[in-house]
Amino acid sequence: MNFLKYKLNPIAGDASYRKFYRLALYKKSNIFVFAKKEKYRNLIAYLAINKFLRSNKILAPKLYAHSFDKGMIAIEDFGDTTFYKVLIKKKNKLVIYKRLIDLLLEIQKIKPKSKIKIIGKRSHVINKYSNKYLFEESNLFFDWYLPLFFTKKKSLNIKRKSKKVLLRLYNKLNFSNSYFVHRDYHVQNLMRVGNKIGVIDSQDALIGNPAYDLVSLIDDVRIKTSKKLKNKIYNYYLKKAPKICRAHSQEFIEDFNILSVQRSLKIIGIFSRLFKRDNKNQYLKFIPYTWQLLEMRMHSEIFSELKKILDIHITKEIRKKIISK
């Protein structure tokens, strides 16, 4: 059947090169995903991780059809109800977050596989989240955000001063990279499917630190939550976390703070790149709150050098500014 002759209704996409469409067919709707660029990451890796999650009893979209040459896949439709939509209508948000933490704990019980077979001879390798990788991601902040305000020379100077400081921080991470990490585990990527939770946007999954996905959920830049609620969610996780995390709770909170700082730098950089390179300005409004999260997590003495560099060069006025064309 040539699906492309049917009318496809566009639906809201994400921060990738993918485009999404809904097709109602035989009283059931499917989601068509098109990717002109980065086809491997956006299609093949996505299918591989979804298959891996489903094989471990985690709800992820099924594959219905594919044409990798045309940059297209058809997958299961989980509807439009993200847990972001659920949370903004819910007064007692902690109840919802506990469900999302319970699912995260189930995901973290999965024994990661380094290689996943997909279709035919195709397979996908899940890499480890190395310190080099963490550093390359935080570099997005210096390469894309700083040039919006400073000259190339000054941006490079701040980047140079920060390099050794960041590498030292990442070398302080206590827990080994041995857990399945979704890498974007936040409420826009968690769907209410009946009374279950569906997981989407999993193509960037790696094997990494157990604190990373917890950071993604608690310090989510898209939904503002109080420090009190953040602490309650964190404590609920720690109460039910793997034994090694509970036994080394001080080391775990240190990893959490380091990875939160890293992720905030990365996100500010990504949102700046989407604006500058891809002409997508809808993410700029999240940058001031991301700065608030960054400042909140840099309270420990281990961040004193990084905080000093950022405070000298990037004023409060710049941090609060919502960039516009």
Report pTM: 0.92
Identity of residue 297: R
Query: Angle at Cα 20 formed by Cα 260 and Cα 8, nearest 5°?
Result: 165
Q: Token digits for 30?
A: 């499917």
pLDDT over 60 at 308, yes or no:
yes
pLDDT at position 217 is 98
Torsion, Cα 44 46 47 49, to 10 degrees, reads 120
> Over the stretch 9-54, which tens digit does the pLDDT of each residue have?
788 766 667 788 888 766 678 888 888 776 776 788 888 899 999 9
Q: Which helix (H) or strand (E) holds 221?
A: none
What's the CATH fold of domain 3-76?
Phosphorylase Kinase; domain 1 (3.30.200)
Which of 122-127's residues contact partners 24+ apart within 8 Å by CB, and which partners?
122/44, 123/48, 124/44, 124/45, 124/48, 124/49, 126/49, 126/180, 126/205, 126/206, 126/207, 127/206, 127/207
Look at residue 222 and tell me whether its pLDDT is greater than 90. Answer: yes
Confidence (pLDDT) at 8: 72
Question: According to the model, what pLDDT value does residue 116 have?
Answer: 86
Q: So where are the chain's domains?
A: 3-76, 83-320
Question: How many CB atoms within 10 Å of residue 159?
Answer: 17
**pLDDT (tens digit, 9 = 90+) per residue, 80-123?**
999 999 999 988 999 999 999 999 999 999 988 778 877 767 78
Model pLDDT, residue 2:
52
- Separation CA 292–CA 109 (nearest Å): 32
Residue 13 is predicted with a pLDDT of: 64
Q: What architecture is domain 83-320? A: Alpha-Beta Complex (3.90)
Q: Residue 161 has which token pair?
A: 């001063």
